[in-house]
Amino acid sequence: MATTISRTAAKPRTAPQSQYLRHTKLPTLMFRTAADADRHVALVVASLVRENNSAGVATVLGLPTGSTPIGVYRELIRQHKEEDLDFSQVITFNLDEYFPMTPDSIHSYNRWMRANFFDHVNVPEENIHIPRGDIAPEDVDAFCDEYERLIEKAGGVQLQLLGIGRTGHIGFNEPGSSRNSLTRMVTLDPQTRRDASSSFFGEENVPTHAVTMGVGTILAAKKIIIMALGEHKAPVVRKAVEGEVTDEVTASFLQKHPHATFVVDEAAASHLTAVKTPWLVGRVDWTPVAEKKAVFWLCRELQKPILKLSGHDFRENHLHDLLAQNGPVEAIRQRVFNGLLNGICTQPAGPDRKTVIVFSPHPDDDVISMGGTLITLADQGHDVHIAYQTSGNIAVFDHDADRHIDFMSELEEYLGTATDKSRAIYAKMKQDLASKKPGACDSAEIQFIKGLIRKTEATLAALIAGVKADKLHFLNLPFYQTGKVEKAPITQADVDIIANLLRSLNPAQIYVAGDLSDPHGTHRMCAKAILQALAVVEPEGFQPEVWLYRGAWQEYEPHEIERAIPLSPEVVDRKKQAIFRHESQKDAPLFPGADKREFWLRAEERTKNTSAVYNSFGLPEFFALEAFVRYRGQL
């Protein structure tokens, strides 16, 4: 049965669903989506600004940078332009800056703040304060003392916005920072530098120091909102709000602040007790998903398959309420077991030939994430198309581009087709690479070369999977074409490209990357563009069945999985061979994320682990499984 895309679900909700979570030492407000969290925090900021404007007093804000607050800034910009939100009486103090760092560098937080916020609102220039990374080392201490004095002169920070790093740092207050520390220069933690490596095109290019507000400076703010979005932040969120106060997780100091709130989306909250095991902290609405989640948890806790669980097991492990509401135990066991068993699907698009589109954010996500299913669909005779949404050109090393330039140049010389013009072009591209500063944007010609490398690799990989070149669609969505890790917002131009593809192919089934924790956010943005396009074409009668898959960084939890596709050893080997065709991403990809394993190894071990989990629950043993979730109106 096809899944329809509800037009109502596709519209922004006017009343986001949220809740304060139990069992936290710091008030934690969870929203269903990152967009809902962004709107809430922006509303808090805007309300404070409007209130102070009405009273004729200044609003003093502490501001962060990075991917977490960018949605808040975009909503504040919208309110400024469309709802006359006036920032003329706002004074801002930014948290930090790399050192050394010139303000005009593409990596500078000064430049980032101007590009993403200050250039679009009317905060007076004299009211903007950002730590400097371009002063002499011997002048840093004096600058930091002056920064503290300026905050005090402004009357103190009224509202401090924060993100949280994977080491638990706030600002650049790394593990070991003192509770009373003030603005100062710090040495960056290796994990922090690794996390920043994608923005700098390599860890070796990330500065080793930064100037940051101290923990004491942050805690002096009258009110604090700290945000975390995405599954990759879930482990450190739990340490910060449920763990002990410790200088090893500087965000945990916020537990002692009288007016601090942690704002998270469901993905970032997924490891918190009230979300992961809510039956341990209170009553539960025992929906089918909650029932599955509890049963799978019990299986893992007791290392028992589903059909061997007893009523005693439920009662002794805080699940007596589940028995009372959904029992008897025999019914719960069989219902959950059958649901898992019925989700195993050997014909993912059914027995009759259908048109299928696999949307791949980057040119290798198709084979890495769902290559076995892709092979299965093609082998079963379906009309399979792959839509590569971006070029992936920023993920190609300079030395790979250099090698291909040499290849083309020497080939032309050998064929006798070289001209003075072509030699000059090749020489210019070589010079562009040789003179490029670490982390700087590539020239247009180099971006094209790198995109071509990814395109030819994807074409070879798809052929191994059984999809010919005429079924490949390289969409090259505009939002990605910045030449930088940081991308532009999704616009109607991106949506229209996808909507037109849907109209031209009219697929019965599509596959979408449903990631919430892609390190540089491209997967999330690509999914957003697809879902907006689906909302556009639905009134025209286009209603494909939509399945979500996960990328290289995460897998769905067992209770989330609605369809599992078995993979034979032969299919797994073909999938691996397809991944190998992406030579520019093999051995050491430019953006590996936190997991340093090669993509083929991550993919193979993940599918085998999913199979092992199903086996532990008492289901038939498979060589490997790829997991999917049906789209129902939100990521």
CA–CA separation, 596 and 590 (whole Å): 11
Q: How far is the CA of 7 from the CAs of 2, 16, 510, in angstroms?
A: 15, 17, 18
| Cβ-Cβ contacts under 8 Å for 368 (sequence gap 6 or more) | 551, 552, 579, 599, 600, 602, 603
| Cβ-Cβ contacts under 8 Å for 226 (sequence gap 6 or more) | 161, 162, 163, 164, 170, 240, 251, 254, 260, 261, 262, 263
Beta bridge partners of 311: none
Q: Look up 174 and say whether it is catalytic.
A: yes
CA–CA separation, 431 and 328 (whole Å): 74
For CA atoms 323, 324, 330, 335, the dihedral sign is: negative
CA–CA separation, 6 and 539 (whole Å): 10
- Phi and psi, residue 358, nearest 5°: -100, 115
Residue 100 burial class via C-beta count within 10 angstroms: exposed 0-12, middle 13-18, buried 19 and up? middle
- Phi and psi, residue 375, nearest 5°: -60, -45
Closest CA to 186 of 217, 150, 140, 147: 140
Q: Which of 174, 242, 291, 604 is catalytic?
A: 174
CA–CA separation, 337 and 299 (whole Å): 12
For residue 101, give both structure tokens. Answer: 């760092």
Residue 324 burial class via C-beta count within 10 angstroms: exposed 0-12, middle 13-18, buried 19 and up? exposed
CA–CA separation, 391 and 413 (whole Å): 29
CA–CA separation, 225 and 148 (whole Å): 20
Question: For the residues of 187-253, what is the DSSP string, one character each?
Answer: EPPHHHHHHHTTTTTSGGGS-SEEEE--HHHHHTSSEEEEEE-SGGGHHHHHHHHHS--BTTBGGGG
How many CA atoms lie less than 13 Å away from 86 in the CB half-sphere? Answer: 10
- Coil, strand or helix: which one is 358? strand
CA–CA separation, 41 and 226 (whole Å): 10
Active site members = 174
